[in-house]
Amino acid sequence: MPDNNWSDSPRFDSKASEWDSNIVRAALADAVSRAIIAHLPVTRPENALEIGCGTGLVTMNVAPKCGLLTAVDTSREMLAKLEEKLIVDGVPNVMTELLDLADPESASLLPGSFDFVFSSMTLHHISDTETFLAHLSSQMTPGATLAIADLDTEDGLFHDDETEKVHHGFDRMRLTAMFESAGFTTVSFMTAHLVEKKNRAGQQATYPVFLVTAVKPQS
């Protein structure tokens, strides 16, 4: 069973109304969206999945490039913000799902098998990275692409609340090994963005954000 405190839906529920007004966050989402779009498979994804879509800062940019996109989050209020945008902009191809993807039982409720999976700034909220990646691989079609953006190893001061349960970023070599253990190949990293912000200690700091892409082999 996953440790449910990690996804912390009450925390994200309470942040949903002000989420998009943070300009540092919006700039990050724009940069990650561009990086994800640059790494889309050559063939248009027909059944895509976004892990931890939040209010849809990345979703709204990537959705036009996909057939159907299932956008998943554990926070009802974050999803409600995305749903408002989908209605206002008349986006027909995004389906939202309130599910905990760190819980294999909950994740197995997802419809179908995915040919493109992407995520921004959610992996550090999932406690057991290895189990998560292994289960995710089982829900992807052979040849599918995975594109995940998250923090490089950080000083533990990125998040304002020190009680928030998170991984303090990821070491690229260790994460590569985890992807390969989960059966992915062609694991490749790029730096998608540098977050410049005041950290929890009040110091101006730079936090690099990577995009890692990988492929589920054909057989």
Position 81 contacts ligand SAM (CB under 6 A): no
Q: Which of 31, 57, 117, 212 binds ligand SAM (CB under 6 A)?
A: 57
Position 72 contacts ligand SAM (CB under 6 A): yes
Query: Would you say 78 and 11 are in contact if contact means Cβ atoms under 8 Å apart?
Result: no
Position 123 contacts ligand SAM (CB under 6 A): no
Position 126 contacts ligand SAM (CB under 6 A): yes
Which residues, in sequence order, are CB contacts of 106 under 8 Å at separation 6+?
99, 100
Sign of the Cα pseudo-torsion (167, 171, 176, 178, in order) = negative
Distance in Å, CB of 215 to ligand SAM, minimum? 22
Position 215 contacts ligand SAM (CB under 6 A): no
Query: Would you say 126 and 132 are in contact if contact means Cβ atoms under 8 Å apart?
Result: yes
Q: What is the DSSP string of 174-216?
A: HHHHHHHHTT-EEEEEEEEEEEEEE-TTS-EEEEEEEEEEEE-
Position 45 contacts ligand SAM (CB under 6 A): no
- Rounded to whole angstroms, the Cα distance separating 114 from 137 reads 9
Beta pairing, strands 114-120 & 68-73: unpaired
Q: Which of 81, 86, 100, 139 binds ligand SAM (CB under 6 A)?
A: 100
Position 60 contacts ligand SAM (CB under 6 A): no
Q: Which of 39, 81, 125, 193 binds ligand SAM (CB under 6 A)?
A: 125
Cα torsion through 204, 193, 154, 205, rounded to 10 = -10
Position 63 contacts ligand SAM (CB under 6 A): no
Distance in Å, CB of 13 to ligand SAM, minimum? 8
Q: How many residues bind ligand SAM (CB under 6 A)?
A: 23
Return residues touching ligand SAM (CB under 6 A).
Answer: 7, 9, 12, 29, 51-54, 57-58, 72-75, 78, 100-102, 120-122, 125-126
